Each structure stands twice: as C-alpha cells, then as structure tokens.
Amino acid sequence: MTSPTDRSLAFTPLTIGPLTLRNRFIKSATNEGAARGGVPSKQLVRFHERIAAGGVGMTTVAYCAVSPDGRTFVDQIGLHEGNVVHLKALTEAVHRQGAAASAQITHGGCFTWVKDLSCGRPLSSSGGFNKVGLLSGQWWRQAMDATQMTQVIGEFVQGARLARDAGFDAVEIHMGHGYLLSQFLSPLYNHRRDAYGGSPERRARYPAEVLGRVLDAVGKELAVVCKLSVTDGARGGNTAADGARIAKVLEAAGAHLLVLSAGLNVESITTMFGSSFPKENRVKMSNPLINAAMFLQRLTEPQDVSFREMYLLESARHVRAATRMPLAYIGGVKTLANVNQAMQEGFEAVALGRALIHGADLVEAFGSGRTQASECTSCNRCVSMMYTPGGTSCVLGQAGSAELNAQGAAS
C-alpha cells in the first residue's frame, strides 16, 4: 500500500507483476468504436498513440473478445492470429510514446448482440430469461457446464497469449459491468447450486480460475489486471462488502492489480458512470437496436443522478480496507486534487476514462502545472459516439476520422 503522505506519488513509477509503469495514471478501457468487422483500425492506433503521448503510464485497449462467441458486437476487436499484425502496429505506436499497453480481454456471455453463436443460446453462469434478449432476440441464456467452462478458460488463455505476441505489456481480464465473468460474480445472474454459486467466494471461484490460468500462461511476462464491479448498483446485487470479499479471492489468486469499477450494463449503467444519460445527450444512431437500447435505458435508469467527482470512493474504500494488493481507483477522477486524494487514501494507481477522452494530454498538463482540472463536463455523450463512423471521441473536441477508422491498422 502507498504512503498516505506523498502528494506527488502519482508521477512516480509503479510495479505491477513483471511490469513497471512510468507513472500511476492508467487510461481505462473505453470501447473505441474503432474495429469495424473486428479489425483494429488506424483510428484505434491514433487514439491510443495520442493518449500515450499525453503522458499516461499505461493505456488500455477496450474490449478484445477472446472468441467469436465471446463478442458483444460484431465490430469488436477479435483476439485471433489475423489481428496480431494490426495490434502490433498499435502497441509499437504506444511504446514509441513511452507508455505501456494493456489489452482488455473479454467474454460477453449473455450480454451479446451477435446472432450466429456456435454455442446456441448465449452462455452465462445460470440459465433463464436473458434481459438483453429483449433487443437482441436471444431470449434465453444457458448455464455453462464443466466442458464449456474449461473451453472458455482456454479461450482466455489463448487471448492472453495472443495479446503477448502482439506486444502488449498487460492484459486486463474484464470481470465487471455484466459480461460473462461478472455474470458469475453477481447474484443477479448466478443462481448455481454447485461449487461456483452461493457466497461471494464461491461466485468468485470461476473468475479466479480464469485468472489463475492466465497467470500461469503469461503472468511472468505480462501484468495481469482484473477489472470488476465492486458494487452491482442494483437491488439484490453485490454490495461493497461483497465486492471486498470477491477482491480478496482475486488477491489470493495472484492478480497483479484490480481496477475497482461498479455497475452493470443492463441493470445499473448510471452506477458505472456516476451520472444520468439525459435525453438531450443522446445522438441519433443509424442502428435501430442501439436506439431501442437507449430508449429502454431511459425508461429504466434514474434520470436525475448528478455527477460528483470520485463517485466510487466509498465502495473502493471497502476493497482498500480488505486487501493489501495494488489497486487502481476509477470513477470520476477529474482533478489533480482527486488524483492526490486517491494516492493519500492508499490506492496505488488511478484509472481515467472520460477525462482522457476529453483531453488526451491531461496527465502531461497536470504534471507541468498547466492545469489542475479536466474540463470534461461528464455529459456522457462520448458513450454514444462509440457507434459513429469516426469512433469514440469527445463531443467538445474533434471527431475521430471515419477514413482512418475504415482501414486496418497495418494496412
């Protein structure tokens, strides 16, 4: 744990597993909308190169699917041999700017819009009605059996090896936000009566097994990070006390760093972002499914949650108190004072999403004293920009290039 007195700690190196970062600022995974047909694009490279040049210790490439059935969308980066050359172009660009690159490795489970799944019904911890199916048409999810669980572990291992071969310095196993491993962690999804269901420790067993196998495969060469939702933010879901118990399991399994998010895509996206998605902030999408999803979200999510800086601090503190391992605070970090508070409270790193979408050079600006605060308004409009031709960008700045987004990174 960090010393509570060192105010400039954020600009000092941090070692996580075999990796040393130049500082403690991490760009969190924010689906870049820059992999048409699953191929990483030149726009994706430009996005991360700018973030790296802006001074972060590590940038995280969002949402790389470990298998075709693990995709949430067809335009999601696929971790397969054919993409290594494109991902290499990205990691080389990030390294040229002195930062490290992390690949967020994901299986969506039943949170998927992909129609032609080889597994039939979407996979999850338990069977039953699939809420996303209201829009995707896949109404029912299936409980994974032992063979499927072993297969998916193999896919995570393969994905991590591929990330290593593509030059990544870290992998971030996505265990949060309602994707497959989160569907094991959350009692809202996991109703299993075997050794993988029940208490928080038992629900964490399968994610910990995935982590263990990924560590065995690449943990000596890459940092292995886990992102989890400490609280689900929905009735009957994990509380911060549950999240702390889950974090202890991941600590015991050897994770090098935890990123302490919250909320679930379907049930509680407001918890994840700390503020509502007001109607006027929604851009009109050409994809009718996305429009419908946003409409439903407006009906089910609270419309009056005002953003506050460091909105996940209370839940993150539970994990800090329960563990001794490196932790990254995430959620509403916008000012240098926020960063220093996270350091003083004993978090080893801070992860930032929107503030770095707004200004890729924020870390350099903090370090040089050029600014004390991001001017991101927390309007959440960048979230719907993911589906625009230029990919994810801040609506207050320049849009991404649709032209670069249509070209494979190495083409």
Ligand X SMILES: Cc1cc2nc3c(=O)[nH]c(=O)nc-3n(C[C@H](O)[C@H](O)[C@H](O)COP(=O)(O)O)c2cc1C
The verdict on whether 387 is a catalytic residue reads no
Q: Read out DSSP for 85-125? A: HHHHHHHHHHHHTT-EEEEEEE--TT----S--TTSSPEES
Question: Judged by CB under 6 A, which stretch of 70-78, 213-221, 287-295, 350-358 contacts ligand SF4?
Answer: 350-358
What are 21's two structure tokens? 């970062």
- Closer by beta carbon to ligand X, 142 or else 371: 371
Task: Among 310, 382, 404, 409, indicate the residue that binds ligand X (CB under 6 A).
Answer: 382
Q: Characterise 94 by phi-psi region: left (phi > 0), alpha (psi -120 to 50), beta (else).
A: alpha
Measured CA to CA, the distance from residue 100 to residue 95 in angstroms comes to 6
Measured CA to CA, the distance from residue 255 to residue 276 in angstroms comes to 32
For residue 156, state whether it binds ligand X (rule: CB under 6 A).
Answer: no
Long-range CB pairs of 349-352, under 8 A, 24+ apart, other chains included: 349/14, 349/16, 349/21, 349/24, 349/25, 349/26, 349/57, 349/257, 350/10, 350/24, 350/25, 350/26, 351/26, 351/27, 351/28, 351/60, 351/259, 352/25, 352/26, 352/27, 352/28
Binding mask 322-341 for ligand X (x = CB under 6 A): --------xxxx--------
Question: Judged by CB under 6 A, which stretch of 23-31, 36-44, 118-126, 211-219 contacts ligand X?
Answer: 23-31
Contacts with ligand X: how many residues (CB under 6 A)? 24
For residue 377, state whether it binds ligand SF4 (rule: CB under 6 A).
Answer: yes
- Closer by beta carbon to ligand SF4, 98 or else 397: 397
One of 63, 179, 196, 329 is an active-site residue; which one?
A: 179
Residue the block writes with tokens 């190196």? 13
Residues 258-297 that bind ligand X (CB under 6 A): 261, 273
- Closer by beta carbon to ligand X, 89 or else 356: 356
Q: Tell the smallest beta-carbon distance from residue 227 to ligand X (Å).
A: 5
Residue the block writes with tokens 């019904």? 121
Report strand pairing: 25-27 vs 19-21: unpaired
Task: Among 357, 360, 362, 386, indicate the residue that binds ligand SF4 (CB under 6 A).
Answer: 357
- Closer by beta carbon to ligand X, 229 or else 323: 229
Give the count of alpha carbons within 13 A of 298, CB side only: 11
- Secondary structure class of 34 (helix, strand, coil): coil
For residue 119, state whether it binds ligand SF4 (rule: CB under 6 A).
Answer: no
- Closer by beta carbon to ligand SF4, 148 or else 371: 371
For residue 99, state whether it binds ligand X (rule: CB under 6 A).
Answer: no
Contacts with ligand SF4: how many residues (CB under 6 A)? 13
Name the site residues for ligand X (rule: CB under 6 A): 28-31, 62-63, 104, 174, 177, 227, 261, 273, 330-333, 352-355, 382-383, 386, 392
Catalytically annotated residues: 179
